[in-house]
Structure formats: structure tokens, C-alpha cells
């Protein structure tokens, strides 16, 4: 759920929060799939300078996400030790969940939005005048209805479905979520057999959302969340599709498997009481040939790949 006062940042005058380069700070955690979406979009369209990023520690304490990766344990721009401080600044007395990604207004030090659902779409559209030359159109007007419909289906069955499997309180709840998850993955396996990307020949926001969940599948969800009918690597079409995306500039270079494994296995003590972090899986397989080029397609449409990550 979005933070209660959460608002959209727009360039069309529909929000009190205007798009301004350098005004906001994007707070993420590299273990979080919803943060991952924003990092991929930001990189593909070239918003790194316009929307600087702050990275929280994959481990946290009872106050939640913290800036212990930074010198002296506080964010050098916001001057805070915990993201919760920016939530409190936006809603004094707030004692609800503190989630990432979150966009903080730097002058006011307060959270503006943590709505991951609208944030990626807004970065692709409302921030367009700040995109790099050659930025791909990730949310093309002619596909928006189809993208929104598929995103909604994937959210119910996959993006949140893995969490329902992991945190189910009854056998019935778990089994129902498990069936929905793998039924949907089977549908995707067939959908992607004859098309390179979810909506055809070019990457869209749907591909980004699916990527950031499935890239975590074998490293976290298969074992820890009991999503264990099979591994991603055992679904040949989806596995090739995911390697194709992983090897595309802007995707794999935003993924940090060490943070992913550490966060899920060391923080979620309800599921892993001893906090032991697994050594596997073998990550070198992400760099093996995928052979998806045979399907054709233009990953960035009329645009160009982002420059090499620094």
C-alpha cells in the first residue's frame, strides 16, 4: 500500500510535486524487487543525474531501512540515519510500514511517494523531457492498456504471489498461491515461446517488472518461500528470456545477488531462524548464451542502449 500522503511527481501540472532535476532523492534497497524496477527504468532512460539514488543496507534493525553503508551511518544528502525519519517528516506520528523505493524531497526532507506501481510509469512518461537522447519508450501509448492489464495479472499471481507463498499462514492459502504462481509461469512460458518480449519486439515496463521478480527466484523464492515446483533454470523459455534481459545493458548491471541473498535469508528470521545465507546458486549461468536473437526484435525500439555502467 502507498504511504498515506503519497503523491505523484509530474510535469503536467496535476500534482503539487513538479519534476525537477536534482530536487528529489530516490531511496532504494538492492535486495528489493520493487526498488529494482525503478533502478532499471532510471538506468534505461538515463535519469541518473536528474534523480540521484541513496542505497540502504540490506540488513536492518527494528527501525527498518538504514543508511549504514554510508560514511558515519547517515545519508550524506538527507543527513538521516533511517528512512523512517523521512516518513516521520511527511506524516508526524506515523508508525506504519517503511518501504522502498521511496522518493524524498531533498529541501523538505520528507517522503513524497513510495508508490512503486506509479513511480516507474511516471519516470517513463512524466520525466521524459529529462531522458537521455535515444532513451527507449518503455510505456508506449498504443500498448498502455495491454501493459496495464498484464501488469495487474502478474502482480496478483507472481510479484505478490511469491510473498503469499512465503508468508502464508495456512496450507490452503499457500497451496492456492502456489498454484496461481506456477499456472501463471506456465502461461508466460508459452507466451514467450514465439515472441522475444512480453508485448512483442521491444522491451516495455512489463518486462522490467517481471525481470526484477524472476531474477530473485532461484536465489530466494524457490527455497526460502517454498516456490519449489521447479527452479527458473528448469523452465527453458523463461530461463532463456531472463538471460536475454540480464545480458541487456541496464538489467543485469543493476542486480546485486549478494545483497539479495543476504537480505532475504538474514532478515526474514520468521522463515530462516538461524539466518544462514546459502552459498548457491551458481551465478555464472546468467552469462551463458540464450539464443533469443533468433526471434528478432529490437530491445530498445527506435532508441539506443544506455551507456556502460560506471
Q: Percentage of the chain with pLDDT > 90?
A: 93
Q: What is the pTM of this model?
A: 0.97
Q: What is the pLDDT of residue 5?
A: 62
Residue 4 has a pLDDT of 67
Task: Show binding-site residues.
Answer: 65
User: Binning pLDDT at 50, 70 and 90, where does residue 21 land?
Assistant: very high
Element (H, E) at 111: strand 110-113
Same CATH topology for 9-130 and 141-295: the answer is: no
Report whether pLDDT(109) > 80.
yes
Contacts of 169 (CB under 8 A, 6+ apart): none
- pLDDT tens digits, 185-219: 999 999 999 999 999 999 999 999 999 999 999 99
Binding site listing for glutathione? 65
Higher-confidence position of 15 and 172: 172
* Domain 141-295 class in CATH: mainly alpha
User: What does the domain layout of the chain look like in residue ranges?
Assistant: 9-130, 141-295
H helices present in the chain, as ranges: 33-45, 84-90, 116-125, 144-154, 161-167, 171-191, 205-214, 222-224, 236-246, 257-267
- Model pLDDT, residue 38: 98
| pLDDT band, residue 90 (cuts 50/70/90) | very high
Average pLDDT over residues 66-73: 96
Catalytic residue annotation: 32, 163
Q: What is the average per-residue pLDDT within 257-275?
A: 97
9-130: CATH class: alpha beta
Amino acid at each position: 500500500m502507498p504511504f498515506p500522503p503519497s503523491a505523484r511527481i509530474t510535469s503536467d501540472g496535476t500534482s503539487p510535486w513538479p519534476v525537477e532535476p536534482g530536487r528529489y532523492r530516490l531511496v532504494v534497497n538492492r535486495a528489493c524487487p520493487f526498488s529494482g524496477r525503478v533502478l532499471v527504468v532510471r538506468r534505461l532512460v538515463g535519469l541518473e543525474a536528474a534523480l540521484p539514488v541513496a542505497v540502504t543496507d540490506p540488513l536492518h534493525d527494528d527501525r527498518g531501512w538504514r543508511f549504514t553503508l554510508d560514511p558515519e551511518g547517515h545519508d550524506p544528502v538527507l543527513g538521516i540515519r533511517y528512512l523512517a525519519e523521512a516518513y516521520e517528516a511527511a506524516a508526524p506520528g506515523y508508525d506504519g510500514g517503511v518501504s522502498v523505493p521511496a522518493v524524498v524531497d531533498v529541501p523538505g526532507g520528507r517522503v513524497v511517494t513510495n508508490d512503486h506501481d506509479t513511480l516507474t510509469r511516471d519516470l517513463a512518461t512524466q520525466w521524459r523531457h529529462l531522458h537521455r537522447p535515444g532513451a527507449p519508450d518503455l510505456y508506449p501509448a498504443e500498448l498502455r492498456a495491454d501493459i496495464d492489464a498484464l501488469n495487474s495479472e502478474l502482480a496478483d499471481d507472481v510479484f505478490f504471489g511469491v510473498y503469499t507463498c512465503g508468508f502464508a499462514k495456512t496450507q490452503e492459502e499457500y497451496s492456492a498461491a502456489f498454484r496461481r504462481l506456477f499456472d501463471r509461469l506456465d502461461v508466460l512460458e508459452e507466451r514467450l515461446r514465439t515472441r522475444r518480449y512480453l508485448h512483442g519486439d521491444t522491451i516495455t515496463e512489463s518486462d522490467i517488472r517481471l525481470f526484477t521478480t524472476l531474477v530473485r527466484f532461484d536465489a530466494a523464492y524457490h527455497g526460502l518461500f517454498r516456490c519449489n515446483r521447479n527452479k527458473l533454470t528448469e523452465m527453458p523459455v523463461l530461463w532463456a528470456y531472463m538471460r536475454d534481459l540480464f545480458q541487456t545493458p541496464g538489467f543485469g548491471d543493476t542486480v546485486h545477488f549478494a545483497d539479495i541473498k543476504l537480505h532475504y535469508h538474514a532478515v526474514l528470521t520468521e522463515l530462516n531462524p538461524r539466518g544462514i545465507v546459502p552459498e548457491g546458486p551458481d551465478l555464472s549461468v546468467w552469462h551463458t548464451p540464450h539464443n533469443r536473437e533468433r526471434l528478432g526484435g529490437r530491445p530498445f525500439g527506435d532508441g539506443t542502449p544506455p551507456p556502460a555502467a560506471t
